[in-house]
Structures are given as structure tokens and as C-alpha cells.
Amino acid sequence: MNTVQFITSFYDQAYARLRGQASARGDVYQHRTNKRKFSGASEQGDQASRPDDQRTTRRQARAHKRARLESDENLSHKVPLTCRKCGQVKSADYFPGTTTHAGLHGQTCFDCWDDYVFECLDDDAALNLSCMWCEWELLVKDIQEVCRKAVFRKYERQASKETIQNTTEACPNPICGVRIEKVEGNGCAHMVCLCGHEFCWLCRVGWDSDPTSLVHLRGCEMFEIARGYLEASDDAEMS
């Protein structure tokens, strides 16, 4: 081997060793870099997943609480109750949620409330219904709460009928009978029905346009007015 070949071989070997060392250092660096990237991604993933985990936990807790409350409510509905009126033991579904706005009384079943309201309606007392257990007047919402739908509809019809009867008067014309309403304190006593019949609202007799006519019943305001006209007329003639 001559000198040139020896120098060339030496440099080739040296260059190969340098490349090997550089390659080894690069692998270590790349490994460390990849490790840091993986570790950072893992930490970021953990941090990103923590809020989701917390929300999931809260949702599960709320769902568990709702299920427990629904279970307690269902159990409470299954507990049988004893009716204070008839003494029968029935499911809670046969009882209204509350009794009246007047206060809490012993549990009374729908059947007993229906019977009670029916009796009051038969006596034309729909507008004066009081609580079964006290003298407090029942409101419409109370009756709707303690009665079944069919009974409540009957109550509404009866109450409307009684209201019309109490606030209106029938036309005295025998062939008419239409109910007429007059606002208290408004207008005169001279009424004219749709049928054309004219009558006095105070005493229900036929109306006479003559102010001195004594057709009105005694005690009627119009009778007193007519008598006053006649007395005044007599006094004028005598003088």
C-alpha cells in the first residue's frame, strides 16, 4: 500500500466512525424528543378528559337522585290509605291530593266526595257548597280537586243554572218566559222583553204608560208614585 492509499483509507475509516457517532447521538435525541412529545400529549389528554369526567359524574349523580325521588314517590302512592268518611282502605290513587284551601283534614276518598257533592246539587246548593269537615265555603278549584271529572261537570252546569236563576227574572208573559237580567241600580223599572211584552220590574205586572195608573201592586215603588200623582191632582182640584 502506497502512501496515498494509506491516507485515503485512514480518512475513510475516520469519516465512518464520525458518521456512526453522529447517528447514535441523533437517535438518542430523537428518542428524547419523541418521549417528550408523547408525555406532553398524554398530559394534555388527561387534562382535556378531566372536565368531561367531572360532567359525566355530575350527570350520573343527578340521574341517581331523580331515580331515587321517583322511586320514593311511587312507593308513597302504593301505600294504602283509610278514608275518614267510609272507613275503607284504598290505594292512594283513590284520594285527592288535598282537601280544601281551608286547611288539611283527614283523607277522604273520591267516592265519598262525589256522593257529598251530588247530595248538595240535588238540594240546589251548588253556590253554597261548604267543606265536608268544616263550614268553610268551597272554591271552584277545591271542588275540581276533590271530585272526579263527571261530577265536576255536573257541578258547573248546576252552578250556572243557579246563578242565572238568582240574577235574572223570567218575562211574565205566559207564552214567553225568557230570563231577563237587570243591573242593580241602573235604569228604570219599565222593562220591555224581546217578545214585546212591557212590565214593571219591581212588581212584574203589565206596564201602564199612565203615571197615575194604580195597576202596580201595593208596596211597589211605582204604586206609591202613582198614588202620589193622584193625591197631588186631587189637592189641585180642591184648591
Average pLDDT estimate for 59-84: 67
Express each pLDDT in 86-103 by its tens digit. 999 988 888 887 655 555
Express each pLDDT in 189-239 by its tens digit. 888 899 999 888 888 888 777 666 666 667 677 777 777 665 665 555 555
Q: What local confidence, expressed as pLDDT, does residue 116 receive?
A: 92
Q: Give the chain's length.
A: 239
Higher per-residue confidence, 200 vs 53: 200
Cβ of 233: how many Cβ atoms within 10 Å?
11
180 has a pLDDT exceeding 80: yes
User: Residue 238 has which C-alpha cell?
Assistant: 180642591
The Cα angle at residue 199 between residues 197 and 205, in degrees rounded to 5? 120
Question: What distances in angstroms separate CA 50 from CA 18, 38, 43, 44, 93, one per listed residue?
Answer: 48, 18, 11, 10, 46
Q: What local confidence, expressed as pLDDT, does residue 153 receive?
A: 93
Q: Which residues contact 190 (CB under 8 A, 6 or more apart)?
A: 198, 200, 201, 207
User: Residue 196 has which C-alpha cell?
Assistant: 214585546
**Predicted TM-score of the model (pTM):** 0.50
Express each pLDDT in 104-140 by its tens digit. 577 889 999 999 998 888 887 888 888 888 888 888 8
Give the residue from 189, 167, 161 showing the smallest Cα distance to 180.
167
Residue-averaged pLDDT of the chain: 74
Predicted confidence band of residue 146 (pLDDT cuts 50, 70, 90) = confident
